[in-house]
Amino acid sequence: MTSVLSRPHLLSMQQLTNEQIFHLFQLADQMKNNLYLPVERQTFAANVFLEPSTRTKMSFQVAETRLGLETMNLDGESSSFTKGESLYDTLKTLESIGVEVAVVRQSEVGLLDQCKDLNLSLINAGDGCGEHPTQSLLDLYTIHEHFQHFEGLHVAIAGDLKHSRVARSNAHALRKLGAEVSFVTKPEWQDPTLTDRYITMDEAVHECDVLMLLRIQHERHTDSGEELGYLENYGLTKEREAMMHPNAIILHPAPVNRGVEIDSDLVESPKSRIFRQMTNGVTIRMAIIEALLKGEL
């Protein structure tokens, strides 16, 4: 199951150095300003999404198309996964027919590690409650676009921490880049492997430069009453938003539960960068694909 020809992958934020992160930002700036050339030779990319996705899947498709790649899409219902085929065998099939980049979202933490010796570049598009490195990179790029630095910034991550791969990827990367990271969540959603630094939402809005909100992941819960009182106790209300620093910004990986983690009126407010994140998602994913194809990660 191994190959000496394995290509570079992006499976975790922990594999990236600060220098590699900033290199991706430079590439993304080029993509944003159309200072790039599409891939000249025919190159195939496969999007293997075994969990639902709108933003990640669509932005990868746009990124691949802009780069001139030939794109194919697989999901759990229209592929041989319905026949019991393993992820490894599916990816081995893609490798065998000439796919060079595979973007994979699936529910098992660390499963892609078993496939990293294949001769195609793997991009982790979310593995259960594990990591989501491309979301983290677009979040970081959006922060850097606004502040031009990370050192000394206070970032508060608020929401369903226990089940959030976004929080996990961002917390690691932000600390490495020199930011201070605090967390806001319900007691039952605390994650001792992530942090022991919890603050209230009222403290967060007074202190933070960046407020990163997370949705309640209903698909990973059994309690149907989680939303009751959530906005008032743990979410961003208009009253709390008014207490934020004038230059502070609001992030959210989406989908947004309007009126739950954030008042609906704030989703497109001046401090919000929620839809800017989505725009940046295309350019940073273009940068990631180009860097992998050139062996720069």
pLDDT in tens, 203-251: 999 999 999 999 887 555 455 556 778 999 999 999 999 999 999 999 9
Known binder of ligand: residue 7? Answer: no
Residue 195 included in any domain = yes
Known binder of ligand: residue 105? Answer: yes
Known binder of ligand: residue 8? Answer: no
Are residue 28 and residue 102 in the same domain, yes or no? yes
Label residue 2 by pLDDT band (50, 70, 90). Answer: very low
Report the predicted TM-score, pTM, of the whole model to 2 decimal places.
0.93
Phi-psi region of 131 (alpha: psi -120 to 50; beta: other; left: phi over 0): beta
Are residue 241 and residue 263 in the same domain, yes or no? yes
Are residue 242 and residue 126 in the same domain, yes or no? no
The residues facing 184 across adjacent strands are: 158
Known binder of ligand: residue 83? Answer: yes
Residue 3 included in any domain = no
The residues facing 249 across adjacent strands are: 210
Known binder of ligand: residue 165? Answer: yes
Are residue 201 and residue 143 in the same domain, yes or no? yes
Known binder of ligand: residue 197? Answer: no
- Provide the pairing of β-strand 249-251 with 70-75: unpaired
Are residue 122 and residue 208 in the same domain, yes or no? no
Of residues 117 and 196, more confidence is placed in 117
> Once rounded to an integer, what is the mean pLDDT over residues 101-111?
95
SS (H, E, C) the chain: CCCCCCCCCECCHHHCCHHHHHHHHHHHHHHHCCCCCCCCCCCEEEEEECCCCCHHHHHHHHHHHHCCCEEEEEECCCCHHHHCCCHHHHHHHHHHCCEEEEEEEECCCCHHHHHCCCCCEEEEEEECCCCCHHHHHHHHHHHHHHHCCCCCCEEEEECCHHHCHHHHHHHHHHHHCCCEEEEECCHHHCCCCCCCCECCHHHHHHHCCEEEECCCCHHHCCCCCCCCCHHHHHCECHHHHCCCCCCCEEECCCCCCECCCECHHHCCCCCECHHHHHHHHHHHHHHHHHHHHCCCC
Are residue 117 and residue 188 in the same domain, yes or no? no
Are residue 22 and residue 109 in the same domain, yes or no? yes
Residue 6 included in any domain = no
Cis peptide before 255 (omega within 30 of 0): yes
pLDDT above 70: residue 166: yes
Are residue 60 and residue 82 in the same domain, yes or no? yes
Residue 152 included in any domain = yes
Domain that holds residue 204: 134-273
Are residue 224 and residue 252 in the same domain, yes or no? yes
Tokens of 61: 């498709």
Residue 82 included in any domain = yes
Known binder of ligand: residue 255? Answer: yes
What is the distance between the alpha carbons of residues 95 and 121, in angstroms, rounded to a whole number?
Answer: 9
Give percent above pLDDT 70 in the chain: 95
Are residue 30 and residue 98 in the same domain, yes or no? yes
pLDDT above 60: residue 115: yes
Tokens of 153: 């910034």
- Scan for tokens 């590690």, then name that residue: 113
Are residue 77 and residue 163 in the same domain, yes or no? no
Residue 88 included in any domain = yes
Q: What is the CATH number of the domain that holds 36?
A: 3.40.50.1370
Residues 6+ apart with CB under 8 A from 244: 205, 206, 208, 211, 250, 271
Are residue 63 and residue 126 in the same domain, yes or no? yes
Known binder of ligand: residue 57? Answer: no
Known binder of ligand: residue 41? Answer: no
Instruction: Give the total number of structural domains in the chain.
Output: 2
Cα→Cα distances 254→99, 123, 144, 276, 278, Å: 29, 20, 19, 12, 9
Q: What's the pLDDT at 184?
A: 96
Residue 87 included in any domain = yes
Residue 7 included in any domain = no
